[in-house]
Amino acid sequence: MSLLIVGSVAFDSIESIKGKREKIIGGSAIYASLAASLFSYSRIIGVVGEDYPSDIIQIMNQKGIDTTGLIVQPGDTFSWGGVYSDDFSERTTLFTDLNVFETFNPVLNESHKKSDYVLLGNIHPSLQLSVLDQLESSSNIACDTMNLWIETTLDELKNLISRVDILFVNDEEAGLLAGNKDLSVAAQTILEIGPSFLIIKKGPNGAVLYGEDFEFTIPAFPVKEVFDPTGAGDSFAGGLMAYLAMTGSIEKEILKRAIAAGTILASFCVEEFGVERLLKVTPEEVNERYSILSQLADLDATPLLK
Amino acid sequence: MSLLIVGSVAFDSIESIKGKREKIIGGSAIYASLAASLFSYSRIIGVVGEDYPSDIIQIMNQKGIDTTGLIVQPGDTFSWGGVYSDDFSERTTLFTDLNVFETFNPVLNESHKKSDYVLLGNIHPSLQLSVLDQLESSSNIACDTMNLWIETTLDELKNLISRVDILFVNDEEAGLLAGNKDLSVAAQTILEIGPSFLIIKKGPNGAVLYGEDFEFTIPAFPVKEVFDPTGAGDSFAGGLMAYLAMTGSIEKEILKRAIAAGTILASFCVEEFGVERLLKVTPEEVNERYSILSQLADLDATPLLK
């Protein structure tokens, strides 16, 4: 089934304990669609400047990513720079040049409007809402957000959240959104806003899926060496949504496997700078990591006490 | 097989968002042995003052806990008071009156010395070492510690750790001990000191077991309402060690189930103040929670991609 991904396209300048990269390919739509390409065809909606390299577009097309929704506008591509603390627990933004992204206005063509699965990457809630309003079909919608929108446009964000099927937030954002740092309490508060499922990302502590009457946890995949966590959350969301699109379902048991798919793509993402590792992932490697991941928290069913 | 538990015995005064309790039964040896009682007979080594109530001793004996190693000394019992932040993420100590605990010197009788399993609760590393030195048999030793000893008696602590089979620390302590907040890096550094297994407790994020060439993660049991987290780590360690003692093994597959046992006992512990809930746990409830826990992170084995 068809997957639409709306998000940012950017040049990133990144510094971590493992090194430094200047002006490499980044942005939520890029990470998400490259992760998605392991499972499903996808179409992206985004904006770039005239300085955006055509070779990356070609590579994406070869991976089954439809880039006809990637609009080129006069000016420079969105550019972001940041530095990670040595243990990756903190990130400091060095600069944000919005450039053409400042006036980004996602416009869906007739084909985009009929998408079965839609991932609204982390952009201003009003833009995410504008995409929702353009959709024709009864799409399955997932959206990502960030603390900035929780703090500055809460009403708009809540309106958005009430209309989506799956919401992605990290643990800090969940606490902020619900006004309670206890995640199981926060999860119930957030589910009451309207989404069918809430996925709380906890970085090295994995992720938790909350539904109306169940929860499911998944550990992070044990990565040997982290180089650059940029885009891990987008890879997670992209891999997850593409797995759902591949299977054509968002029922509970499929969602568990989809979260595993997202976890695995995020684990590849962080192993090199930018999208370097994502570009090389093979289906065999995905299955290998799934096999490890499915055993990582596996308890046999025999009761503890007779 | 026989389980020996060495630790503190205390009166606790606790305040949380759920209420307040004055001078209730606490201490690592008490929490650990009550949790252990679901799986195995245990013997405790500790010290109390003349003010310690005899009825709790009777209750413990009825639960198969041998208290002959609980020495009564002139003076008052160790007393501690603390208050939890509303989301339980922080704890502030209000007072610590060591009383008879100040001169605690664990002395093992002939029977104690032959214990197959030994849990060294969080007390001064020199006392933990003194217990080790008194043991005759090739016991399976687990020890718990805290940031205070990492900061003040690191050499002694490392000597201790090099001689135990299982080390319990929380995520903060693991980072402090290894000088690296990345837990998988920290785990390898700590394992090199000597223990066969390291268990990192992450509170609401569960726990991770690290061995020489494997790791296993377990989520926290989803507790509906936390009342008082005091003793959760001790209940975890006590439940875990008692499960090992019950099965007579510390091999990998048994350890996974033992960690589940610890997780479940910790989940009961936090549901009421002090040991109130632990005193009421039934074998059926343990099996019920194990069944839920074993499904909480359960992924089927079918590969994600064909």
A24 DSSP β-pair partners: A12
Q: How many CB pairs under 8 A join A and B?
A: 119
pLDDT of B213: 87
Residue A231 in any domain: the answer is: yes
Q: What integer is the mean pLDDT of B5-20? A: 97
Stretch A174-184: mean pLDDT, rounded?
91
Q: Cα–Cα distance between B30 and B57 in angstroms, integer?
A: 10
Mean pLDDT of B138-150: 94
pLDDT, one tens digit per residue, over A147-160 is: 999 999 999 999 99
* Mean of pLDDT over chain B: 96
Residue A138 pLDDT greater than 90, yes or no? no
Cross-chain residue pair A202–B204, CB shorter than 8 Å: no
Contacts of A298 in chain B (CB under 8 A): 256, 297-299
Mean pLDDT for B248-265 is 96
Instruction: Identify whether B304 is part of a domain.
Output: no
Averaged pLDDT, B258-285: 98
**pLDDT > 90? residue B267:** yes
Summarised one tens digit per residue, pLDDT across range A282-298 is: 999 999 999 999 999 99
Res A120 pLDDT > 90: yes
Cα–Cα distance for residue pair A230/A102, rounded to 1 Å? 21
Q: Mind listing the pLDDT tens digit for each residue in B89-136?
A: 899 999 999 999 999 999 999 999 999 999 999 999 999 999 999 999
C-alpha closest to that of A161 among A188, A177, A176, A143: A143
Residue in this structure with the two tokens 């980072």, named with its chain if needed:
B175
- Set of chain B residues whose Cβ sits within 8 Å of the Cβ of A299: 218, 256-257, 260, 290, 293-294, 298
Give dist(CA B240, CA B244) in Å, integer: 6
Q: Are A166 and A141 in contact (CB under 8 A)?
A: yes
Choose, out of B257, B300, B305, B306, the residue to mutate when testing the contact with A (most A CBs < 10 Å).
B305
Q: Residue A303: what pLDDT?
A: 97
Please report the pLDDT score of residue A228 as a whole number: 97
Which residues of chain B neighbour A198 with C-beta distances below 8 Å?
Answer: none
B306 belongs to a structural domain: no
User: pLDDT by residue (tens digit) across A246-305?
Assistant: 999 999 999 999 999 999 999 999 999 999 999 999 999 999 999 999 999 999 999 999
pTM strictly above 0.80: yes
- Domain at A173, CATH number: 3.40.1190.20
Quick one: A81 exposed, middle or buried, by C-beta within 10 A (0-12, 13-18, 19+)?
middle
Average pLDDT score over chain A: 96
State yes or no: pLDDT of A137 exceeds 80: no
- Give me the interface pTM, i.e. the ipTM: 0.91
Query: What's the first-to-final CA gap in chain B, in angstroms?
Result: 47
Better-scored residue on pLDDT, A37 or B214: A37
Give the Cα separation of A38 and A48 in Å (integer). Answer: 24
Q: Which two tokens stand for residue B287?
A: 């099996």
* Whole-number Å distance between alpha carbons of A278 and A266: 9
In chain B, the percentage of residues whose pLDDT exceeds 70 is: 100
State how far residue A56 is from chain B, nearest Cα, in angstroms: 25
Task: Look at residue B96 in the predicted model and tell me its pLDDT.
Answer: 95
CB-CB: which of A175, A226, A257 is closest to B299?
Answer: A257
Q: Is a pLDDT exceeding 90 seen at residue B137?
A: no
Taking alpha carbons only, the member of B54, B53, B30, B52 closest to residue B42 is B30
pLDDT of A247 reads 97
Backbone dihedral angles phi then psi of residue B166, each to the nearest 5 degrees: -130, 130
Q: How far is CA B6 from CA A49, A172, B71, B137, in A?
A: 67, 38, 12, 16
Give the pLDDT confidence of B209-228 residue by residue, as tens digits.
999 889 999 999 999 899 99
The helix/strand count (H/E) of chain B reads as 11, 13
In the block, tokens 């309106």 appear at A159
Name the residue with higher pLDDT: B283 or A181.
B283
Residue B56 has pLDDT above 80, yes or no: yes
A194 phi and psi angles, rounded to 5 deg? 145, -25
Owning domain of residue A25: 3-296
Task: Compute CA distances B16 → A183, B22, B134, whole Å.
Answer: 17, 12, 40
pLDDT of res. A134:
97
Q: What is the pLDDT of residues A207-245, one digit of tens each?
A: 999 998 899 999 999 998 999 999 999 999 999 999 999
Least confident of A33-47, A134-148, A150-164, B38-52: A134-148
| Burial letters A267-292, b for 16+ CB under 10 A, else e | bbbbbbbbbbbbbebeeeebeebbee
pLDDT of residue B205: 94
- The answer to whether residue A301 sits within a structural domain is no
Please compute the mean of the pLDDT values over residues B158-186 and round it to a whole number. 94
Q: What is the rounded distance in angstroms from the CA atom of residue B128 to the CA atom of residue B200? A: 19
Nearest CA in chain A to B244: A304
B279 has a pLDDT exceeding 90: yes
Judge whether B305 lies within some domain.
no
Contact A296 B215 (CB under 8 A): yes
pLDDT of residue B89: 85
- Cβ pair B304:A216 closer than 8 A: no
B188: confidence class by pLDDT, cuts 50, 70, 90: very high
- Say if B63 falls within a structural domain: yes
Q: What's residue A248's pLDDT?
A: 95
**φ/ψ bin of B113: left (φ > 0), alpha (ψ from -120 to 50), beta (otherwise):** alpha
How confident is the model over A124-130, as a mean pLDDT? 96
- Which residues of B are less than 8 Å from A304 in CB distance? 39, 243, 257, 260-261, 264, 286-287, 290
Separation of alpha carbons A231 and A274, rounded Å: 7
Instruction: Kindly write down the DSSP assignment for every residue of chain A, as one continuous string.
Output: --EEEE---EEEEEEETTEEEEEEEE-HHHHHHHHHTTT--EEEEEEEETTS-HHHHHHHHHTTEEEEEEEEESSPPPEEEEEE-TTSS-EEEEEEE-GGGGG------HHHHT-SEEEE-SS-HHHHHHHHHH--S--EEEEE--HHHHHH-HHHHHHHHTT-SEEEEEHHHHHHHHT-S-HHHHHHHHHHHS-SEEEEE-GGG-EEEE-SS-EEEEPPP--S--S--TTHHHHHHHHHHHHHHHHT---HHHHHHHHHHHHHHHHHHTTSSTTTTGGG--HHHHHHHHHHHHHHT---SS-S--
Give the pLDDT of residue B184. Answer: 87
Q: Which of A281, A299, A302, A306 to mutate to test the interface with B (most CBs of B within 10 A)?
A: A299
Using CA atoms of A156, A157, A162, A166 in order, give the dihedral in degrees to the nearest 10. 150
Mean pLDDT of B260-282: 98
Measured distance CA(B35)–CA(A72) in Å, rounded: 64
User: Distance (Å, rounded) from C-alpha A42 to C-alpha A116?
Assistant: 11
Alpha helices (runs of H) in chain B, residue ranges in sequence order = 28-36, 54-62, 110-113, 125-134, 147-152, 154-161, 171-178, 183-193, 232-247, 252-269, 283-296
A154 neighbors A161 (Cβ within 8 angstroms): no
* Residue percentage of chain A with pLDDT more than 70: 100
CA atoms of B144 and B260, how far apart (whole Å): 18
Q: Do B273 and B14 meet the contact criterion of CB atoms below 8 Å apart? A: yes
pLDDT of amino acid A205: 94
Residue A105 lies in a domain: yes
pLDDT of residue B195: 97
Q: Give residue B138's pLDDT band: very low, low, confident or very high (50, 70, 90).
A: confident
The total of structural domains in chain A comes to 1
Q: B48 in a domain, yes or no?
A: yes
